[in-house]
Structure 1
Amino acid sequence: MKSITANDSIIHFNEACYTALNEHLKVNNFSKIFILVDENTYEYCLPNFLEKLESNALVEIIEIEAGEEHKTIDTCSGVWNSLSELNADRKSLLINVGGGVITDLGGFVASTFKRGIAYINVPTSLLSMVDASVGGKTGVDLGALKNQIGVISTPDLVLIDTTFLQTLPQNQMRSGLAEMLKHGLISDENYWNKFKDLSKLSLEDLDELIYESVIIKKNVVEEDPFENGLRKTLNFGHTLGHAIESYFLSHQNKKELLHGEAIIVGMILASYISTELVGFPRKTTEEIKTLFLSYYDKVAIDKSEYKSIIDLLKYDKKNNHGNINFVLLEKIGKPKIDCLVDDSIIIDAFEFYES
């Protein structure tokens, strides 16, 4: 697969990753190389990555605990302190090997340490390959509130080696698939149609779908890097999805949802709201619900919880001037941004999902 240039970053795929990485290390003569991993990628991904890394620079490994609950400023402080104690300087490089938590948090750490050091993202989950590692968004959660603290900052390289997907459990693969489904809904009906029967999907097919997803996101981000307009469309399903994810994360009696599991619910809700407000075909909304629930377990949300989830919408990053702004669909491939939605319609959407 041909490498993709996106703003100031280059995205490489599979074997081309390591040729590009080692050439980059040779040309830039970094003083030290730091590799950020979590306990899972330390065990399953790091050995393979180190085998292919060629450099005379000192390599140090920094390991953090795995999981969204560790995507915090406290974890950043631990990594910043480790960098300081290991004598990182402005010419050091941080390589983030992991899923979305690692690439988001690692990018934020690199962008702020000594006012910014170089970093490379090596996404190892499907979600981070098609979403988190591409586009320059970095950051951490504020309590249970998703991605409230962060900056937009571009990695030197993004290295997508799809062999890492062989280390993932099925629920993590489904979590990443949710973002690919979103890319189809907001951008391209032909791409969306490829997901209607995944039973015949080969690994080669998956590589191509990942490549197409990266192209879709790259094209959006290049046109609108700071989310003033078009880039907001990438948040389809995320306004309510993030609120649901935060609600489940902050309640100990609820099973924590993976990002993609919450976004699937959010997209079903947003499809229903699109039908009610901007004329999205009702038949297509029904098809989306049926398709998604054939791939994902239904999430139990009680009526008594609707208001608490709706209250969390005020923290959504797309909000301005006190308005909660939704991304809706007029048709597949034609999103509409900055839509205002009454709470009563959101409640109707929940009831549609639960019915």
Structure 2
Amino acid sequence: MTSIINESYAIHFGEECYVQLNTYVTKKLPSIIIVLVDENTMQYCYAPFIAKLETVAPIEVIEIEAGEEFKNIDTCTGVWSALIELGCDRNSLFISLGGGVVTDLGGFVACTIKRGIDFIHVPTSLLAMVDASVGGKNGVDLGNLKNQIGVIQPPVMTLVDPTFLETLPQKQLRNGSFEMFKHGLIADRVYWENMLAIDFDYSDETFESLIYQSIIIKNDVVQSDPYEKDARKSLNYGHTVGHAIESFCMASDDHEDLLHGEAIAAGIMVESYLSTLNTGLSAADFNQIDSFYQSLNLELSFADKEIDQIISLMAHDKKNVNGEVRFVLLNAIGQYKTDCVVSVDQIRNGFKLYLK
């Protein structure tokens, strides 16, 4: 897989990751290298990663607890304090080794400590590889509201080593693949159909190629619109509803927490229904998406009162304008429209018809 070289940062793959990492470290001569991990990546990923890092700089590890519930300012405060105690300065190098929580939070910490130090993302989950580590969005949740605090600043480089996927359970692989399906829905019908064809078989010999194509799709969108004024909004397809569902379940005693990808899959289902009513998504295309969603067997169901609570959470979506909820919807598979306004009744109907 050929490296993706952008104006301000690069994405490298496989063994080339470590060639480029060591070349960069040799040139930078960092005063200290700090590696952020959670307990999972400390156990499964740190040793093989650090064995390939060639440097005379001191290396320190900061470990945080795993899980979305720890992606918050309190965790940031702990990491900032640890960085100060370790003698972090403007020539330090910060490496986020982990899934989406570690890369999101790590990038935010690095962008804000000492008003910004160099950082590198090493995503170890499929979700982080195809989504969280690409595009320069760094941030944390505020209470149960997703990604309300953050900055847009790309890392020095992102290193995608697919061998880390061998440490993941099937459920986490499926979780990350939902963002890959989304990339097909907004940008490439053939890619969407190729994702359907592997039928969640992550041992399929074409899967690494699909990961690479997914990263290219997201990177191309980001490069065309780094600060989300227009085209980059398309990457939020399924997220207006999905983030609200995810936040609601995190705060609810009656619903289990959802993985991010599961919530986005539910959001894709509802927003596809909205697309049939507002932007001309055909019955044939909708039926493909519906069949995909039904095959997941997520068994999500919400009472009328809960649906209204979820809808109220959409008021915090970052695409909103003047208090008006704006959706990304599909004209067709592979074609989208941004800044769509839909009625609350349509949203309620979408929940009642498809999340039942």
Q: Give the structure-1-normalised TM-score.
A: 0.98
Q: Distance in 2 between matches of 1:7 and 1:68?
A: 31
The more displaced of 191-200 and 58-67 is 191-200
Q: Distance in 1 between matches of 2:231 and 2:177?
A: 22
Tell me the equivalent position of 1:170: 170
Residue 261 (structure 1) shift: 0.2
Residues 199-218 of structure 1 aligned to structure 2 (within 5 Å):
199=199, 202-218=203-219
Tell me the equivalent position of 1:45: 45
What code does the residue aligned with 1:325 have? R
Q: In 2, are the aligned partners of 1:261 and 1:296 still within 8 Å (CA)?
A: no
Q: Give the structure-2-normalised TM-score.
A: 0.98
Tell me the equivalent position of 1:65: 65
Tell me the equivalent position of 2:230: 229
* Structure 1, unaligned runs of 5 or more: none
Q: Distance in 2 between matches of 1:282 and 1:208?
A: 30
Residues 120-135 of structure 1 aligned to structure 2 (within 5 Å):
120-135=120-135
- CA deviation digits over 1:236-274, x for unaligned, max 9? 000000000000011133100000000000000000000
Q: Distance in 1 between matches of 2:194 and 2:310?
A: 32
Question: Secondary structure at the residue paired with 1:280?
Answer: coil
Q: In 2, are the aligned partners of 1:64 and 1:75 still within 8 Å (CA)?
A: yes
Residue 217 (structure 1) shift: 0.5
Q: Distance in 2 between matches of 1:298 and 1:253?
A: 14
Q: Distance in 2 between matches of 1:197 and 1:337?
A: 28
Q: In 2, are the aligned partners of 1:238 and 1:266 still within 8 Å (CA)?
A: yes
The more displaced of 103-112 and 196-205 is 196-205
Cα 1:14/1:296, change in 2 over 3 Å: farther
What code does the residue aligned with 1:255 have? E
Tell me the equivalent position of 1:315: 316
Which consecutive aligned stretches of 4+ in structure 1 deviate over 6 angstroms post-superposition?
Answer: none
Tell me the equivalent position of 1:271: 272
Q: In 1, are the aligned partners of 2:99 and 2:125 still within 8 Å (CA)?
A: yes
Q: Distance in 2 between matches of 1:125 and 1:181?
A: 16
Tell me the equivalent position of 2:28: 28
Tell me the equivalent position of 1:334: 335
Tell me the equivalent position of 1:16: 16
Residue 333 (structure 1) shift: 1.3
Residue 7 (structure 1) shift: 3.6
- CA deviation digits over 1:9-38, x for unaligned, max 9? 110001111111111100111110000000
Question: Secondary structure at the residue paired with 1:35?
Answer: strand
What code does the residue aligned with 1:263 have? I
Question: Secondary structure at the residue paired with 1:19?
Answer: helix
Residues 29-178 of structure 1 aligned to structure 2 (within 5 Å):
29-178=29-178
Q: Distance in 2 between matches of 1:7 and 1:275?
A: 38
Residue 349 (structure 1) shift: 0.7
Q: Distance in 2 between matches of 1:270 and 1:162?
A: 31
- CA deviation digits over 1:274-313, x for unaligned, max 9? 0011110123212212112213522222233110000001
Q: Distance in 1 between matches of 2:171 and 2:202?
A: 17
Q: Distance in 2 between matches of 1:37 and 1:210?
A: 23
Q: Distance in 2 between matches of 1:218 and 1:247?
A: 30
Tell me the equivalent position of 1:302: 303
1:262 aligns with 2:276: no
Q: Compute the RMSD of aligned alpha carbons.
A: 1.1
Residue 70 (structure 1) shift: 0.2
What code does the residue aligned with 2:231 have? L
